Copies of this chain bind each other. A is one copy, B any other.
């Protein structure tokens, strides 16, 4: 390379590599205020916890108590709250792991834990999630090791995986790791399933004096416990990332004046992500899975709703728009769910033609009862084919494998042509998911997760076990709380029997957030009333907002949060 004059710049650019971009360097310096009980004379101080009168209990509490005898007894399903303390625990050995898909702020949880443990306790990072816990794949995290990951996105400091720890053998392997590293505690950062898993491990390890604490993570936003866990971490960042992109595309529609964008948004079951993005951006149509289920809507009814918006807007000269589709929507349409089940049975049978897909489609069609026959016949060929694909080793087609955005595009196209052949309808499709999981956290997620780490770390060194760490009162300084995991768990009938689960928080038809959306969506469908919330800002006047759904559902008067000030 024969670069001379710009040598200074070249050296500068090379110095940006490996997580040293100007942005990454600057965000490490963002101030992270902490909850009052975690600070004394301007320095971090490990609080203790006292039991409150508040009891948390889900349906079927009796059954849960039987399944989790140890932690039910220890916690009594009472909420704990942090109180200042003069004595800090010493010599404790703690491990932390990430479980499931990444979410913004995970690194700050680790940083918070490491710092509240201080120099007198030891923290281990477990590599690559629950599997690493069973394998004993740990490394010690020094106090200064977390400086570099502060406020950065991703889970790469530890890695993550989706292994479930469930059999007696799995538990024995966890115990071996606990004994090998002489652990006094384990912190599991994960979603609803991972926190259920944490409860099982907590109960199992209780006789071995190893505490287990969960931390509520998931961009889907479906792990919530009222005011105690107003939202799981990562949701704010993910929805702000999606909202920016959707806002940009909305802004493109009246500029280009010719496209309808069908945008699928990640969030496996619940529609919190789609609802939040809708509140931020005001697109023409937003599907809410929970509403479709609550109203028992058929596929054609859902399509009708979109097609009518397309036709009505065209009548006002607007040949563009945006449709938001929650990733899980298909599973909320009862007739589609049934059709997939029948297709699974059919494909497992002896009567599957192999000569051609056309023959298969015909045979399957004959096989169906009359309602399903009509439904199947009305599906686009690509979806029919998808339903009758050869199955992989698992045998079942998952409903989620049906490309819903393409399905809605094809059916809307057909229906619009029926309603008014003169309407111009040029659809495009997008799926946003991976884009939002690992961005650098918003200020809210950064501060929230750092404090969640402080709470989780303090709980575990105080020997508290079977809780989920929480930060309540996020609009007024924040409080460190601990929610009993056994109080969150209920029994759910799933295929193959009963399962103990933490119930997913779905969008409630009666929630203020949904009600607000419902009251505005007709106006948004009629004409362009969209807004562009812009890229999330870490500096300047816009840094301190919580998600709109959270503010509405908490009954807050503003979008601002205030932790630790």
Verify if A552 is at the interface (C-beta below 8 Å from B). Answer: yes
By beta carbon, the residue of chain B nearest A156 is: B254
> Nearest chain-B residue to A557 (Cβ)?
B8
Q: How far is the CB of A227 from chain B (nearest CB, A)?
A: 13
**Which of A201-209, A330-338, A538-546 is found at the contact surface with chain B?**
A538-546
List residues of chain A with CB under 8 Å of any chain B CB: 1-3, 5-6, 8-10, 12-14, 16-24, 26-27, 98, 101-102, 128, 152-156, 159-161, 241, 244-245, 247-249, 251-252, 254-257, 259, 261, 279-280, 282, 428, 430, 434-440, 512, 515-516, 518-520, 523-524, 528-542, 545, 548, 551-552, 555-559
A534's partner among B1, B12, B27, B559 (CB-CB below 8 A) is B27
Tell me which of B18, B155, B249, B520 contacts A438 (CB under 8 A): B249
Among B98, B436, B542, contact of A23 (Cβ-Cβ < 8 Å): B542
For A259, what are the chain B residues with a Cβ–Cβ distance below 8 Å?
434
Out of B21, B245, B555, name the residue touching A6 (CB < 8 Å): B555
Q: Do A14 and B520 form a contact, CB below 8 Å, given A9-B557, A436-B248, A539-B541? A: yes
Could you say which residues of chain B place their CB within 8 Å of the CB of A9?
551-552, 556-559
Q: How far is the CB of A130 from chain B (nearest CB, A)?
A: 14
Q: How far is the CA of A152 from the CA of B534 in the complex (A)?
A: 10
The 6 closest A-B pairs by CB, nearest first: A539-B540, A23-B534, A535-B535, A155-B255, A251-B438, A156-B254
Contacts A13-B516, A261-B434, A535-B536; A156 near B542 (Cβ below 8 A): no
Cβ of A523: which chain B residues have Cβ within 8 Å of it?
17
In the assembled complex, the Cα of A22 lies from the Cα of B10 at a distance in Å of 38
Bound: A8/B512 CA distance, A: 13
Q: Within the assembled complex, what's the spacing in Å between the Cα atoms of A55 and B19? A: 45
Q: Is the CB of A434 within 8 A of B6?
A: no
Give the distance in Å from the alpha carbon of A489 to the alpha carbon of B256 in the complex: 27
| B252:A434 contact, CB within 8 angstroms | yes
With A241-B248, A252-B437 as given contacts, are A556 and B6 in contact (CB-CB < 8 Å)? yes
Contact of A537 among B23, B430, B515, B528 (CB under 8 A): B23
Of A280, A531, A557, most B-chain CB atoms within 10 Å: A531
Q: Are A255 and B159 in contact (CB under 8 A)?
A: yes
Residues of B within 8 A of A537 (CB): 23, 535, 537-540
| Cβ–Cβ < 8 Å partners of A532 in chain B | 19, 21, 23-24, 152-153, 439-440
CB<8 Å pairs between A and B, sample of 8:
A8-B557, A21-B247, A21-B280, A23-B542, A152-B251, A153-B248, A535-B536, A539-B542
Chain B residues near A556: list those with CB within 8 A.
6, 9
CA of A406 to CA of B245 in the docked complex: distance in angstroms? 23
With beta carbons under 8 angstroms apart, the residue of B16, B247, B533 that contacts A531 is B16
- CB neighbours (8 Å) of A161 from chain B are 257
Q: Which residue of B lies closest to A102 (CB)?
A: B255
Q: Is the CB of A256 within 8 A of B23?
A: no
Given contact pairs A16-B531, A160-B257, A535-B536, enumerate 9 new A-B contacts (beta carbons under 8 Å).
Answer: A1-B518, A3-B512, A6-B552, A17-B282, A21-B532, A22-B545, A248-B436, A249-B435, A537-B537
Q: Note all chain B residues with C-beta closer than 8 A to A519.
A: 1
Contact yes or no, A557 B438, CB < 8 A: no
- Distance, CA A436 to CA B251, complexed state (A): 10
A516 to B428, CA, bound (A): 36
A22 neighbours in B (Cβ, 8 Å):
533, 541-542, 545, 559
Find out whether the CB atom of A279 lies under 8 angstroms from the CB atom of B13. Answer: yes
How many angstroms between the C-alpha atoms of A13 and B548 in the bound complex? 8
Contact, CB under 8 Å: A252 / B26 = no
Known: A3-B516, A558-B12. A154 touches B251 (CB 8 A): yes
Q: Are A251 and B23 in contact (CB under 8 A)?
A: no
Give the nearest-CB partner of A7 in chain B. B557
Q: Which of B159, B249, B439, B552 contacts A535 (CB 8 A)?
A: B439
* A17 in complex: contacting residue of B13, B249, B531, CB < 8 Å: B531
B257 to A159, Cβ gap below 8 A? yes
Residue of B nearest to A428 (CB): B434
Distance between A160 CB and nearest chain B CB, rounded to angstroms: 6
Bound CA–CA A548/B159 (angstroms): 31
A530 touches B12 (CB 8 A): no
Query: Nearest Cβ in chain B — how far from A223, in angstroms?
Result: 19
A438: which B residues are within 8 A, CB to CB? 248-249, 251-252, 255
Inter-chain contact B255/A6, CB cutoff 8 Å: no
Contacts A512-B6, A542-B23 given: A534-B440 contact, CB under 8 Å? yes
Among A155, A528, A536, A540, chain B packs the most CB atoms within 10 A around the CB of: A540
Known A516-B10, A548-B13, A556-B6; contact A541-B26, beta-carbon cutoff 8 A: yes
Task: Say yes or no: A248 contacts B435, CB within 8 Å.
Answer: yes
| Complexed CA–CA distance, A316 and B12 (Å) | 28
Inter-chain contact B552/A249, CB cutoff 8 Å: no
B428 and A19 form a contact (CB under 8 A): no
CB closest chain-B residue, reference A540: B539
Most B C-beta atoms less than 10 A away, residue of A3, A9, A23, A528: A23
